Amino acid sequence: MTETSNLFQLAVTLLQQLISIPSFSKEEDRTADLINEFLESHGVTTYRKLNNIWAWNKHFDPAKETILLNSHHDTVKPNSGYTRDPYDAKIEDGKLYGLGSNDAGGCLVSLIAVFLYFHDKENLKYNFCLATTAEEEISGVNGLELIIPELGQLSFGIVGEPTLMQLAIAERGLMVLDCTAHGRAGHAAREEGENAIYKALTDIEWFRSFKFPKESEVFGPIKMSVTIINAGSQHNVVPASCVYTVDVRVTDAYRNEEVLEIIREHVASDVKPRSIRLKPSSIPKEHPIVQAGIALGRTTYGSPTTSDQSLLDIPSIKVGPGDSARSHTADEFVYVDEIREGIELYIKMLESIN
């Protein structure tokens, strides 16, 4: 049995074990235990903070740059349409079924296998840091974000999410804005008060029609959508306030802080972001790891969905076995051959730059 074949078998077995353990966001302690025990059983020195486990390669050299290998082990709750036991990780017709098998279990165990492949090797050009993290599905603060300060200087990252092993070289950021237009209450039958709805409409029209000067080569323009609006208490009272919500999908042409500043310059409403943590991310198409993937027949694209990539301030690529169209679906599965292909492609990409 070749080294990669052995790693593939280990990865599949580990994924079956992970699936058998419920690991909803904030409840990942038992899968963290399993990952920790698995790595230690293969001679890896591990570190833990809450439900996050990380490790470095055996011959770590502080003079060298470090590659981050990251994926998550938390899951959403089972879709109500499940016809199978979501924790029964059976393999049928080449499909490994179970909750989290596709998102992102296949990616996680593939990256763990890749880390083991490189762990003992000497004279590598890069160090490796493996981070298996929690709370990705809820963009929680006690996942990858919590341990980034512990990981040291990182050169670039590979974030494992199901992309059919195609290369997501950019990912949109997300800001949710709670906006309030202020008026003055009055009786609707008289010429009094200032209608906050009318004031909000002016700003809402700006959100609908404004074009940011810079556009992303991958995504094009930033997209802003007003998705919720609420005002008024009864038919004969001019409303003193109008509250509305704006969904802003930020591209890699801007930072979240820049977009927020531009918005506040143009609208009269109070604008409060729920968070500016979920940043747009990208990696140049000319980067060696991207070129390595392209040389192996992979295509590049921009991902409309958010992941832990949004928490990184380093160049990063999102790539992994599985298909995002299967994520969070009933009777979720990953093809076992996707895991095999994922391990092999990850290794080939990384060996080509090492």
State mean pLDDT over 141-150. 97
User: Any residues with CB less than 8 A from the CB of 180 and at least 6 apart, and which?
Assistant: 241, 242, 243, 269, 270, 272
Can you read off the two tokens belonging to residue 88? 């029964």
Pairwise CA distance, residues 154 & 177, whole Å: 31
Q: Which of 55, 60, 58 is nearest to 36 (CA)?
A: 55
Can you read off the two tokens belonging to residue 129? 């840091």
Q: Which helix (H) or strand (E) holds 3?
A: helix 3-19
Q: How far is CA 34 from CA 20, 78, 258, in A?
A: 11, 21, 42
The secondary structure of 211-271 as a DSSP string is: --S--BTTTBS-EEEEEEEEE-SSTTEE-SEEEEEEEEEE-TTS-HHHHHHHHHHH-SSEE
Q: Give residue 2's pLDDT.
A: 65
Pairwise CA distance, residues 106 & 320, whole Å: 8
Q: Is the pLDDT of residue 348 over 70?
A: yes
Handedness of CA 259, 264, 266, 269 (dihedral sign): positive
pLDDT digits 0-9 by tens, 227-266: 999 999 999 999 999 999 999 999 999 999 999 999 999 9
Q: Is the pLDDT of residue 160 over 50?
A: yes
pLDDT digits 0-9 by tens, 40-70: 999 999 999 999 999 999 999 999 999 999 9
- Give one word for 112, left, alpha or beta, with left for phi > 0 and alpha for psi -120 to 50: alpha
Q: Is the pLDDT of residue 1 over 70?
A: no
Amino acid type, 352: S
The secondary structure of 281-319 as a DSSP string is: EE--TTSHHHHHHHHTT--EEEE-S--GGGG-SS-EEE-
pLDDT digits 0-9 by tens, 89-116: 999 999 999 999 999 999 999 999 999 9
- Give one word for 2, left, alpha or beta, with left for phi > 0 and alpha for psi -120 to 50: beta
Query: What confidence category does residue 166 fall into, taking pLDDT thresholds of 50, 70 and 90?
Result: very high
Q: Which of 337, 344, 351, 255 is nearest to 3 (CA)?
A: 344
Can you read off the two tokens belonging to residue 196? 């906050």
Can you read off the two tokens belonging to residue 164? 């059919």
Query: What confidence category does residue 3 fall into, taking pLDDT thresholds of 50, 70 and 90?
Result: confident
Per DSSP bridges, beta strands 127-133 and 167-171 are: unpaired
- Residue 260's φ and ψ, nearest 5 degrees, are -60, -40
What is the set of domains in the chain, with CATH numbers? 3-171+280-353 (3.40.630.10), 173-275 (3.30.70.360)
Pairwise CA distance, residues 136 & 125, whole Å: 30
Can you read off the two tokens belonging to residue 98? 């179970």
Handedness of CA 115, 117, 120, 125 (dihedral sign): negative
